[in-house]
A and B are shown apart, each in its own frame.
Chain A
Amino acid sequence: MYSSLAEVQADLTAGKTTIESVTQQYLARIEERKSLNAFLEVFSDDALDMAKKADENRKHGKAGKLSGMVIGIKDNLCFKGHKVSASSKILEGFESIYTATVVERLIAEDAVIIGRLNCDEFAMGSSNENSAYGSVKHHLNENLVPGGSSGGSAVAVAAGLCLATLGTDTGGSIRQPASFCGVVGLKPSYGRVSRWGCIAYASSFDQIGPLANNVQDCAAILEVIAGPDAYDATLSQREVPQYTKELETSGKKKIAYFKEYIENEGLDPEIRNRMKELIEELKSEGHELTELTFPYLDYVIPAYYILTTAEASSNLSRYDGIHFGYRSKQATDLESTYKLSRSEGFGKEVKRRIMLGTFVLSSGYYDAYYSKAQKVRRMLRDETAEIFKSHDFILLPGTPGTAFPIGEKSSDPIVMYLEDIYTVQANLCGIPAISLPLGKHSNGLPFGVQLMSKNFDEANLLAFSSQMMEKVIQE
């Protein structure tokens, strides 16, 4: 199996293979590892058609930037004429009538879209156990979770079911499974990648981003999917740098890390030790590492869950059994259509979050919860921005631990929500963050480290990540 786009493109250029043949290998591999439950649907025929077209383009010297890239998309991204369900029963059988901007841009650069990937229902979850279509299994041990919500996206890359994938990250949904599965996952700045065609969970947090085997492939995908789009009013109009061309240059950097994050007792001791080693290794490479205190760790999870559930309660109102999607057969009138269709169509975690979000927005509670959480968000954003005035990056753990057994945390939502403790800060602040595979635990499972940068500084973030992987972590 190929481990980078560069390898595929080298073989294509040398005439050793074709995109069609590469696609066929992946299709076979998906079939082989069907038990992982990573794909909800494989677009076999369409993928082969796209592959043939991409081969054709190569032949005529018109190869796109992602020529040779076989990519899977999370099941919350719309692709015209294809089913999309957000892993929910409420969208059972629903077919999209338009294509997400990111998917359109991938196809325009000759990527092959091989299928849609399982995830937590409406991207709500940290273990991929909340899918109406069954849990995704960890590729190294099928009794373990792959992380979530983009669990299918992470496993598909790790198990070699495709070269790269798209996920979405609202509070860590790309980076947490990337950390569990030992792949690279990037959450871009809010407003960098168009959300048109991405099924909304929490609109002011959601971002689409790549998962891949390496930083280079993430950069190549981001370069294609990022940038202004008339269909998303929240996008930044700033130009998209050529991320792939800037990966080689990265000088000595100023990097901050938070004492509270490293010393947090919820953090696995082995991960803590490896983090400390990494800090020393970076120092010895000549980078300037500064320990800071950031006493807000206790507030990030509550603020995140209040704001995201509030937005979700509104975003998910459209799934009402009237215009599309699942409608209860027992419904007899308008009210029972709503009540029964939503009760039967949504899973438990989604219902929990809709109720929580409805509560925090209700009259009499708005100020106590929603307004206060917004203030916390603003404060976190300001405090974090302040740090970036004198630092290039913030280094922090990816996850508190490694992949855990299926069923272990699913009964206690609070325990599950703490899975996101290190990842939500980037979403609350709207800044880019990347999870890089840092090492292997004594339990044999991978875990990641995170780097965050200031807004729209993906070029530096990717370049430094690439250098750090090469010169420090993989040494």
Chain B
Amino acid sequence: MIWKEHYEVVVGLEVHMQLLTKSKAYSSDSAEFGALPNSHISPITLGHPGVLPRFNSKVIEYAVKLGLACGCKITEENQFARKNYFYADLPKGYQITQDKTPICTGGGIKISTDEGGEKYINLTRIHMEEDAGKSMHDQDPYDSLVDLNRAGVALLEMVSEPEIRSAEEAYAYLTEVRKLIRYLEICDGNMEEGSMRCDANISVRKHGDTKFGDRVEVKNMNSIRNVHRAIEFEAKRQIALIESGEVIDQETRSFDAVNGTTFSLRSKEKANDYRYFPEPDLCPVIVTQEYIAGVKSTMPALPNELHNRFTKEFGLSEYDASILTDSKPIALYFNELAGITKNYKAAANWINGPVKSYLNEQAIELDSFPLKPSHLAGIIEMIDQDKLSFSMASQKLFPELVKNPEIAAPQLAASLNILQEDNSDMLLKWTQEALSKFPDKVNEYKSGKHGLIGLFMGEVMKISQGKADPKKANQMLRDELSKN
């Protein structure tokens, strides 16, 4: 990419996350996704005359959790504000949000860069607000339809400083944010369904410039990959404009996922004046230090904490630790397993190998996986004690154990007849049988082609159906071949 030699892209991201609260932010209506249109609506959601908001305090708890996880300062006196604009899916004509007193300020998100380093992206703020309803323009040939189930669902908006310098960093930032909110279980982070949404403020400037260029806001990117694509496209579009002597319109653009481009939605002149002012229907919410301490005590382990633990305490590689901490259930499963077995590397391999393959094949999540960490610990122990080979364990025992999780691994292995045989009589019998099949090769070996030992081992394993203890079988073969 030649442009990167001369220009850098400057990106700030606004992430909206729909909170997993049972009811909406300012009413007791259900916030559940996927119900029949306009079934989760009361006079409050409908914005009928005379209604008043009723604040759902769970929103504060979730906001404080996220703030603590990002190292933010938590605001003590939280005022609500009205953001005024007209749209068909905004029944009140204003959104209840926060303006001057966002619940979290400062803090940041640590990302890994492509160069293998780390970078800290500072946050400007996180504030509480409510979602709008959903307008649908493609359901009816003449009319637009409005579903108000989503209207009033609690949101947190997380705004980053314009410190992101590439599409890759944006990608890493969003991946980290999504991981974090999933760990905290405050949002399911599903960009396709829109429970996590991202707007990108994008500008470009020549390397070494200290002033920011004029920025464009891009909306409607429904995956992390599309955010990446949109930034790449916008950077090139803006540089082309600058190179041809034109100016960048400070406008709002929409991403078109089909051809990977952006198009203008509205110019700055047409931008809304939202006329923020303090929401008179809600009293400020006071967040005390005691409250924060209470939330802190219920915080789950966070991905970076687990990552540290896995590398420092358990001696795993960065790579293994990253894969394990990508998903909270996997990380916690490993964490539990690591409490039972001391063979951490084997534990990581089992989870990243057979367990994940099984989940993928069955297309299920870890919560429907039938084996407990203790099952896996049992298998690992048998392998460590040379009672079972890894291949037997992964190919024979594991698939059977998944079907019969109630049977203990050693018993099942015994009944499958796959326990390693270290009985020397049996080994001797298999060894002799194997060698007797290849009299010519035996002679060749004896005349110096020692590489043929692999062929004989293979035959021993074949005859023993894999049960031969490979170390002992190998020794016995050598012993037999050195006779005469």
Interface residues of A (CB under 8 A from B): 76-78, 84, 86, 91, 94, 96-98, 100, 195-200, 202-204, 230-234, 310-311, 313-314, 316-318, 320, 322-324, 334, 338, 358, 361-363, 366, 370
Interface size class, chain B: 20 to 34
Interface residues of B (CB under 8 A from A): 43, 46-55, 82, 84, 86, 88, 91-94, 144, 146, 273, 275-277, 280-283
Extra contacts besides A96-B50, A314-B277, A317-B92 (13): CB < 8 Å: A96-B49, A97-B48, A98-B43, A98-B50, A196-B51, A197-B50, A233-B55, A234-B52, A234-B283, A317-B84, A322-B146, A323-B46, A361-B275
A233-B282 in contact given A91-B49, A97-B48, A361-B277 (Cβ < 8 Å): yes
A318-B47 in contact given A234-B283, A311-B280 (Cβ < 8 Å): yes
Q: Please give the distance in Å from B11's CB to the nearest CB on chain A.
A: 25
- CB-defined contacts of B84 to chain A, threshold 8 Å: 313-314, 317, 361
- CB-defined contacts of A91 to chain B, threshold 8 Å: 49
Task: Give the complex CA separation of A91 and B275 in angstroms.
Answer: 25
Q: Please give the distance in Å from A34's CB to the nearest CB on chain B.
A: 27
Q: Which chain B residue shows the least CB distance to A342?
A: B86
Task: Give the complex CA separation of A199 and B48 in angstroms.
Answer: 9
Question: What are 16 of the A-B contact pairs (CB < 8 Å)?
Answer: A76-B50, A78-B50, A96-B49, A199-B49, A204-B280, A231-B54, A233-B283, A311-B277, A317-B93, A318-B91, A318-B92, A318-B93, A322-B88, A322-B146, A334-B144, A370-B277
Q: Which chain B residue shows the least CB distance to A191?
A: B283
Task: Give the complex CA separation of A322 and B43 in angstroms.
Answer: 15
Task: Give the complex CA separation of A366 and B43 in angstroms.
Answer: 31
**Contact (Cβ within 8 A) B281 A233:** yes
- CB-defined contacts of A197 to chain B, threshold 8 Å: 50-51
**Contact (Cβ within 8 A) A314 B94:** yes
Task: Give the complex CA separation of A362 and B273 in angstroms.
Answer: 7
A320-B93 in contact given A97-B43, A334-B88, A363-B273 (Cβ < 8 Å): yes
- CB-defined contacts of A230 to chain B, threshold 8 Å: 54
The 3 closest A-B pairs by CB, nearest first: A317-B93, A203-B280, A204-B280
Task: Give the complex CA separation of A91 and B49 in angstroms.
Answer: 9
- CB-defined contacts of A363 to chain B, threshold 8 Å: 273, 275
Task: Give the complex CA separation of A133 and B86 in angstroms.
Answer: 28
Task: Give the complex CA separation of A358 and B282 in angstroms.
Answer: 21
- CB-defined contacts of B50 to chain A, threshold 8 Å: 76-78, 84, 96, 98, 100, 195-200
**Contact (Cβ within 8 A) B55 A314:** no
Task: Give the complex CA separation of A311 and B52 in angstroms.
Answer: 14
**Contact (Cβ within 8 A) A233 B54:** yes
Contact of A86 among B49, B94, B282 (CB under 8 A): B49
Q: Which chain B residue shows the least CB distance to A84?
A: B49
- CB-defined contacts of B93 to chain A, threshold 8 Å: 314, 316-318, 320
Q: Which chain B residue shows the least CB distance to A362?
A: B273
A310-B277 in contact given A320-B93, A338-B86 (Cβ < 8 Å): yes
Q: Please give the distance in Å from A453's CB to the nearest CB on chain B.
A: 23
**Contact (Cβ within 8 A) B47 A323:** yes
Task: Give the complex CA separation of A189 and B52 in angstroms.
Answer: 18
Q: Which chain A residue shows the least CB distance to B51?
A: A196
Task: Give the complex CA separation of A316 and B50 in angstroms.
Answer: 11
**Contact (Cβ within 8 A) B275 A324:** no
- CB-defined contacts of A314 to chain B, threshold 8 Å: 82, 84, 93-94, 275, 277
- CB-defined contacts of A84 to chain B, threshold 8 Å: 49-50
- CB-defined contacts of A94 to chain B, threshold 8 Å: 49
